[in-house]
């Protein structure tokens, strides 16, 4: 959902700025777009960490194939912690950026761009805090939004595979549960690889700009910033597709919803039976986040009961 917000709001603003050299929504977009982009990195980072912890719990639980289904309130609480924490960590971006204008000496055209410069109208304590964040921003990016998710995911995967290999040597490796576990591990690894490849150019550009910006022209800095934007939008576009392709139950549920919307959800018997069968298959399948046990169908009610 956050990837959709990035593509829906940030992508048109960036394209409009590159074409017209005018900033859509002015100073508001200069503050909101970086805030949403950094929040997107935080949401992805902490989501990958949460998925790694869930896979570790699945491997270390005494009865991994019969774990209880996690309640909806618990899932919403975890998502709220991830989202609120990501937005709080990226809150300094709102105070760090502001709109600036530059006049071309050749054509005389006024261009608008966003510059990383805290406003002098801020209170002294807030101004010093934002200035400290600006000085440490490069290494904060590199440590929290690049090293943390990759190292955390790799460590969890190695420990999980080690535990699974030592504790379950006697189990049959061709069972349905082991195949589901393999799909979930591949999904997390695929998401981590895409995230690492797409955030590497941004971290490299940040380091280059931090140490070589006095010797670089404004055109070069704009080009590096555009490259960073491209890889961020590429990640936001590829991640949902990869998730739907690797996680078969989620992809099947998404296709069922799309087919239901396209067909208008006709209330005939055949379609209702088909949707009921597909819903039953989706519910019985395993989710990417949590292990769902195979439940036996409920017993048939006796004839003549009030139900």
191 lies in some domain: yes
Average pLDDT, the chain: 76
- In this structure, is the dihedral angle defined by the CA atoms of residues 97, 99, 105 and 109, taken in order, positive or negative? positive
CATH code of residue 79:
1.20.1070.10
Element containing residue 98 per DSSP (H, E) = strand 97-103
Q: Which of 31-45, 58-72, 284-298 has the highest mean pLDDT?
A: 31-45
- Identify which of 3, 76, 14 has the alpha carbon closest to the alpha carbon of residue 39: 3
Lowest mean pLDDT among 4-8, 86-90, 166-170, 188-192: 166-170
**What is the domain extent for residue 117?**
1-61+71-166+183-255
Which pLDDT band, with edges at 50, 70 and 90, does 218 fall under?
confident
Element containing residue 206 per DSSP (H, E) = helix 176-212
Choose between 287 and 255: higher pLDDT.
255
Give the mean pLDDT of 232-249: 82
Please give the pLDDT value at position 307: 43
* DSSP character string of 281-304: HHHHSPPSSS----PPPPPPPPTT
Number of domains in the chain: 1
Work out the percent of the chain whose per-residue pLDDT is above 70.
74
Please give the pLDDT value at position 212: 75
Element containing residue 101 per DSSP (H, E) = strand 97-103
6 lies in some domain: yes
Q: How far apart are CA 282 and CA 278, in angstroms?
A: 6
pLDDT higher than threshold 70 for residue 295? no
5 lies in some domain: yes
Neighbour-count burial of 151, counting CB atoms closer than 10 A to its CB (0-12 exposed, 13-18 middle, 19+ buried): exposed
Please give the pLDDT value at position 303: 47
Q: Strands, E, within 108-154: which ranges?
A: 110-116
Please give the pLDDT value at position 245: 78
- 0.85 exceeded by the pTM? no
285 lies in some domain: no
pLDDT higher than threshold 50 for residue 151? yes
Q: What six digits make up the tokens of 47? A: 């989501």
Please give the pLDDT value at position 68: 65
- Count CB atoms within 10 A of the CB of residue 47: 21
CA dihedral 134, 136, 138, 139 (to 10 degrees): -170
pLDDT higher than threshold 50 for residue 97? yes
Q: How far apart are CA 182 and CA 177, in angstroms?
A: 9
- Identify which of 138, 66, 56 has the alpha carbon closest to the alpha carbon of residue 96: 138
Q: How far apart are CA 3 and CA 237, in angstroms?
A: 7
Which pLDDT band, with edges at 50, 70 and 90, does 83 fall under?
very high
pLDDT higher than threshold 50 for residue 110? yes
pLDDT higher than threshold 70 for residue 271? no
265 lies in some domain: no
The answer to whether 188 and 52 are in contact (CB under 8 A) is yes
Distances from the Cα of 294 to the Cα of 15, 127, 189, 253, 284, angstroms:
48, 56, 25, 18, 6
Strand-pair category, 110-116 with 97-103: antiparallel
In the block, residue with structure tokens 């002015």: 26
For 115, phi then psi, to 5°, come to -120, 145
Distances from the Cα of 170 to the Cα of 114, 135, 173, 206, 285, angstroms:
60, 54, 9, 50, 25
203 lies in some domain: yes
Which pLDDT band, with edges at 50, 70 and 90, does 63 fall under?
low
């Amino acid at each position: 959902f956050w990837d959709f917000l990035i593509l829906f709001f940030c992508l048109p603003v960036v394209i409009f700025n590159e074409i017209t050299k005018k900033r859509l929504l002015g100073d508001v977009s200069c503050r909101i777009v970086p805030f949403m982009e950094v929040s997107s990195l935080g949401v992805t980072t902490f989501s990958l960490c949460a998925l790694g912890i869930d896979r570790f719990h699945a491997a270390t639980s005494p009865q991994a194939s019969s774990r209880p289904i996690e309640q909806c309130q618990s899932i919403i609480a975890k998502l709220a912690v991830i989202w609120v924490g990501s937005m709080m960590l990226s809150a300094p971006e709102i105070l760090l950026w502001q709109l600036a204008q530059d006049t071309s000496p050749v054509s005389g055209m006024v261009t608008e761009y966003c510059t990383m410069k805290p406003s002098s109208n801020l209170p002294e304590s807030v101004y010093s805090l934002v200035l400290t964040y600006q000085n440490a921003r490069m290494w904060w990016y590199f440590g929290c939004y690049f090293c943390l998710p990759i190292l955390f995911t790799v460590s969890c995967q190695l420990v999980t595979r080690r535990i699974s290999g030592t504790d379950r040597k006697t189990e049959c490796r061709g069972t349905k549960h082991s195949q589901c576990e393999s799909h979930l591990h591949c999904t997390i690894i695929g998401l981590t690889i895409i995230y690492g490849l797409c955030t590497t150019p941004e971290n490299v550009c940040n380091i280059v700009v931090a140490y070589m910006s006095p010797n670089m022209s404004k055109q070069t800095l704009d080009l590096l910033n555009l490259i960073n934007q491209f890889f961020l939008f590429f990640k936001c576009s590829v991640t949902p597709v990869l998730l739907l392709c690797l996680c078969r139950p989620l992809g099947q549920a998404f296709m069922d919803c799309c087919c239901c919307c396209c067909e208008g959800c006709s209330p005939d018997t055949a379609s209702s039976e088909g949707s009921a069968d597909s819903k039953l298959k989706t519910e019985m399948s395993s989710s990417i986040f949590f292990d769902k046990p195979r439940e036996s169908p409920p017993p048939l009610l006796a004839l003549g009961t009030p139900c």
